[in-house]
Structure 1
Amino acid sequence: MQAVGYFLQVAVRYLGFFSISTKQWWFSTNTLKTILFFVFALLFISHKVHADNFNKYFIQEVTVCYDDVGGLTAANFFEQKCEQVSLDKVEPTSKLIWIGTSFDLDLPKLTDKPLGLFFSAKASGEFYLNGQLIGSNGTPSLTKEGEIEGVMDTVIYVPKELIKKRQNEWVVKLSAHHSRHTMSNFISFAIFTQYESPQDIVLRNYLPSFVPLGVLFIGFVFSCALAALQSKRQRNVLLPIFALLVALQLLVEVSRGLISYEYSFQDTRLLAILLLSILSGQCLLLYTIRSFVRQGQWIWFALSMSFTLVIVYFGATIEDKTVLAFQIPAGICLLITGYESYRKHALAIQHATAFFVFSVAIAAKPNAFLDIYYYYFVAFLLVFFSIQHAVAYKVEKSQKLLAQANAQRLQHALDEYKEQQQPSKIKLNLSGKIEWVSSDLICFVKGARDYVEITLSDGRCLLHNEGLAIMEDKLPATFLRVHRSYIANKHFIQSLEKLSSGGGNLSLTTGDSLPVSRRIMPKVKVQLN
């Protein structure tokens, strides 16, 4: 949790909203709590909406007839001897396609809202129920020229008076001349449900995905902040690129519930999702190789990418290809981090555990993974990697500050040694003359408005016509500012007494006593130690 907190501090500082003080850290922590509250609230609401499973009737098995000459009608469809298949196995052709089935539907069990037929397919269609035309989506035809292209998702209003309790006959006339690819299912859904916008029905299924979308967006901003703050040697831009690619993939996925588009665009949309999945998978792979592989990084990446593309090419459906495009790189990342864990590489065991959980989730439910789990687990990986980067940045910053402090102490010691070996000469502007005084003879300097009083070891007190700040810049490293009005030569310091007020008294070997301010007291103690 400290790493998470530090990670948030880094991002807030980069954005310039707050400086990291105790009070403002409390504020940023409570801001985080507020954000998490709304995230979990959205997750709960989306779950409730998603779980609001009002009564539906799914068409699963249909009879399929292919019409070469346009002689089939809804009236004579069930007189034909055609093939019976599951709905998702219906194949598109250059002919007219008729599908139909009979079903029982007890209408009183349904909602009292208007009834509709939600139909999702890469085709134009005319819909018949019990011999009556109830609607169309575009215009199906024997030829491409005669077809008017329909949309991918449509809802057809179903008059309740047409519904019978027994033996309802449902027939659809289809053509798909504008379909560009055949990598995805020809027909996705056919559902009798309450009548509403098709985008509302689709979006309800995607609503839980807005939670990981928010996580991806926040992760993108934070990882950009970390990349900007880190040194060039430690900077890794792959993490924000990874977050951006997955967020774009999710947006393309959700776009089906936001806009209505013609069915010919469906495979283009799925190809875009596949391409983004390939890119995000390779970005994850390159991130892991750069983090854990010491030699031949680009060779390992080229071999792994080639292997991934070959496996993706042989995927049966575009959905399988999309899962494999990320599953294979994640598996390779698991092997790399697992091997590095065996070799006791720092942080490898944490990465290996994260990739193992991800791989098990895919293996457990590969078919449901893309729709349900994918973006949640990718968001989990992004949060995990971001925390690791925050930890790395904190370590790097601590090491940098330590190195700077060591360098300053070394330089200070060298300056003091040089001053001891060969004391510098200080030019003093006295009344009417200029005098050069060796620095090792000066006991302390006291500010007197625009002048300074310089006390020497021989007991003399000289009045120099420059301010204390200018004098401080001229004095060598053997001198220490102990008060806003006093600078002492460390060689003449005998003891330091701490007072109850927080300040102190500095006793010199000359018998003089100088005040030490409470603000400068810690610095004086460090210098004297």
Structure 2
Amino acid sequence: MVAHDHLIFNIVFSMTTRILLSKFCFILCLYSGFGFAQSLVSINLDSVTICPITSQSSVMPSFSEAECKTAHASQIDPQNKALWVKTTVNVAEDMLKDKQPHSVYLSGKAASKVYFNGHYIGSNGSPNAIPNLEQVGKIDAMFYVPAKLIKPNSNEIIIEMSSHHGFLSLNSPLNFIGFGIYSAPTYFIQRNLGVSIVPLGALLLGAIYFLVASFNPRKRANSLLFLLMTSFASLQLFAEISRALYSYPYPFQDVRLLLIVSLSFLFGMCLLSFVVLKLKKSKPYWWILTGGFLTLLIVWLIPGFDPKTALAIFVPSVISATLLTMQAIRTKSKEWALYALLFVLFSFTIVLTLTTFHDALFYYIISAVLIVLFILQARKLNQEQKDKEAEQALVAKLQFKLEQNQQKTEPSSIKINSAGKIEIITSDHIVFCKAAGDYVEMNLKNHQQRLFTGSLKELESTLPNTFLRVHRSYLVNVEFIHSLTTTSLKQAKTSAAGFLQLHDAMEVPVSRRIMPTVRNFIKQN
């Protein structure tokens, strides 16, 4: 079982490690943002004019009305209202020389109509000041811009937008407004899809392994927790990349964000449960429920779904790090110190990467943490298995000594039917037994023989453990073993791996399969 577990662990660990390392340089390239910047440019964020729409009329304003204001692009919020937005985008001459089709790219929670340099170029849904009249748009949309409308340098973009069909109020309902090469709405999100697919594969591979491992009763509790953690992280990652796979209606964004935070919270609770159960705390459910309540409270109070996602794991991680550090200090154990260091580093990493923790980086960190936890847990289980085997060997040795002493003081007896009478033979008089068809030939120390009616296996079950099977046809009383030789003193040709020299020049063969067991037994005794 230990060898089998080692094999599976090595396969999973090596595959996961290779997958993660093979993409490391790729991740750095993607996160540099170089390629992205070459094909997509943002609007001028510092100069955006916003005008509220107070009636059903869709007439474009002059943007000089009293209710209009100039603000930063982050102030654009069409949630539960309708707006007109005017901004500009600078198009470099180099971008126009490539002769590729271009478009306005709008990513966010809104229905919209877009005008480029005074010309209507398309709509995403149908915005309206009246909620019931709004037609829901997609979360990401591209609006083709005819080449004749594009001017070098400054270009005007006017957008009519509304967002009445969400049930969450987000701090940043719009993610991006810009200009770039025309493509599918999800193209610019898919550019980073490869980075996220790598940890998804690693997490799914881990989930499959822990699902199989959970069928082992000895490792079921920890395997189930690891299965839940890898499953929650996989589902959370899939929820993250779903936007790159499909441009869904914008109200689904609220569902997606809640799902991501919920899965992050469940992962954090599994992490805390793992630590509490490993520490064998009294009233473990009290610790888990208290940690869960504290996490929910903090997540509820902190605004923004990106911080919520990070804190849903950060709080359980800090609690775990605190408990493990206290345990390491109290016990002065290297094992607990390793666990404490892991969770301290994990918590510290969350703080350092708070703004990008929910992105692909999160899943690489999670994969790394789970791999380290898996290694530490596997080492612990293997050591426990070795200790258990050593204890079993010691118990078997003590049992053997007890049966040796019992054979000397109160030997077991066997009843033999011979010539119409019943003869009782004690085990301390039997040197070895040899299978002979439907009978077993018992060789006694006085060189006499008796026949036992039955198989060698049946006889073996009635004799004490001081009798050792050395061949499929031979059973030997270890009290009469003198030595083990590789050649026979009586036979010139034989296929046996060795021979046991017994009492008064008696000899029995040892099979190749059982030879290591016999040799080990003689060394120990």
Aligning the two structures, in what range does the TM-score lie when normalised by the shorter sequence?
0.7 to 0.9
Match of 1:407 in 2: 395
Match of 1:515 in 2: 509
Bigger drift between 473-482 and 348-357 goes to 473-482
1:476 aligned residue (441, 464, 467): 464
Q: Which amino acid aligns with 2:401?
A: A
Distance 1:432 1:471 in 2: 21
Q: Is the 8 A contact 1:130 1:162 kept in 2?
A: yes
Is 2:410 the partner of 1:422?
A: yes
Match of 2:7 in 1: 9
1:221 aligned residue (185, 188, 208): 208
Unaligned runs of 5+ in 2: 489-494
Distance 1:378 1:418 in 2: 59
Distance 2:281 2:351 in 1: 30
After TM superposition, give the deviation of residue 85 of structure 1 in Å: 2.1
After TM superposition, give the deviation of residue 44 of structure 1 in Å: 5.4
Bigger drift between 108-117 and 496-505 goes to 496-505
1:112–1:428: structure 2 CA closer, same or farther, 3 Å change rule? Answer: farther
Q: Which amino acid aligns with 2:41?
A: Y
Distance 1:170 1:351 in 2: 54
When normalised by structure 2's length, the TM-score is 0.87
Match of 1:307 in 2: 294
Map 1:322-471 onto structure 2 (within 5 A). 322-343=309-330, 344-345=332-333, 347-430=335-418, 433-471=421-459
Q: Which amino acid aligns with 2:408?
A: Q
Identical-residue share of aligned pairs (%): 32
After TM superposition, give the deviation of residue 274 of structure 1 in Å: 1.4
Match of 1:82 in 2: 68
1:32–1:364: structure 2 CA closer, same or farther, 3 Å change rule? Answer: closer
Bigger drift between 200-209 and 498-507 goes to 498-507
Match of 1:136 in 2: 123
Is 2:243 the partner of 1:249?
A: no
When normalised by structure 1's length, the TM-score is 0.86
1:274–1:466: structure 2 CA closer, same or farther, 3 Å change rule? Answer: closer
1:470–1:365: structure 2 CA closer, same or farther, 3 Å change rule? Answer: closer
Q: 1:352-383, CA deviations, whole angstroms, 9 ceiling, x for partnerless residues?
A: 22222222222223212222421111111111
Q: Which amino acid aligns with 2:73?
A: L
Q: Which has the higher contact order (CA 8 A, sep 6+)?
A: 1
Give the secondary-structure state (helix, strand or coil) at the position aligned to 1:416: helix
Q: Is the 8 A contact 1:312 1:325 kept in 2?
A: yes
Match of 2:55 in 1: 69
Unaligned runs of 5+ in 1: 12-27
After TM superposition, give the deviation of residue 389 of structure 1 in Å: 2.2
Distance 2:296 2:18 in 1: 41
1:324–1:467: structure 2 CA closer, same or farther, 3 Å change rule? Answer: closer
Q: Is the 8 A contact 2:112 2:137 kept in 1?
A: yes
Q: Is the 8 A contact 2:82 2:160 kept in 1?
A: yes
1:36–1:278: structure 2 CA closer, same or farther, 3 Å change rule? Answer: closer
After TM superposition, give the deviation of residue 130 of structure 1 in Å: 0.9
Give the secondary-structure state (helix, strand or coil) at the position aligned to 2:178: strand
Q: 1:310-362, CA deviations, whole angstroms, 9 ceiling, x for partnerless residues?
A: 22122121222222211222122222222222222452222222222222222
Is 2:61 the partner of 1:57?
A: no
Match of 1:97 in 2: 83
Distance 1:246 1:254 in 2: 12
Q: Is the 8 A contact 2:84 2:160 kept in 1?
A: yes
What is the aligned-residue RMSD (CA, Å)?
Answer: 3.0
Q: Which amino acid aligns with 1:513?
A: E
Distance 1:441 1:94 in 2: 98
Give the secondary-structure state (helix, strand or coil) at the position aligned to 1:360: helix
Q: Which amino acid aligns with 1:161?
A: K
Give the secondary-structure state (helix, strand or coil) at the position aligned to 1:183: coil
Distance 1:477 1:215 in 2: 49
1:486–1:156: structure 2 CA closer, same or farther, 3 Å change rule? Answer: same
Give the secondary-structure state (helix, strand or coil) at the position aligned to 1:104: strand
After TM superposition, give the deviation of residue 434 of structure 1 in Å: 4.2
1:461–1:71: structure 2 CA closer, same or farther, 3 Å change rule? Answer: closer
Q: 1:403-457, CA deviations, whole angstroms, 9 ceiling, x for partnerless residues?
A: 3323333333333322222222222244655433222222322333444433323
Q: Is the 8 A contact 1:444 1:455 kept in 2?
A: yes
After TM superposition, give the deviation of residue 243 of structure 1 in Å: 1.6
Map 1:143-154 onto structure 2 (within 5 A). 143-154=130-141
Give the secondary-structure state (helix, strand or coil) at the position aligned to 1:189: strand
Q: Is the 8 A contact 1:217 1:247 kept in 2?
A: yes
1:236–1:505: structure 2 CA closer, same or farther, 3 Å change rule? Answer: closer
Q: 1:240-293, CA deviations, whole angstroms, 9 ceiling, x for partnerless residues?
A: 212211211111111111222211221221111112122221221222222226
Q: Is the 8 A contact 2:88 2:155 kept in 1?
A: yes
Give the secondary-structure state (helix, strand or coil) at the position aligned to 1:228: coil
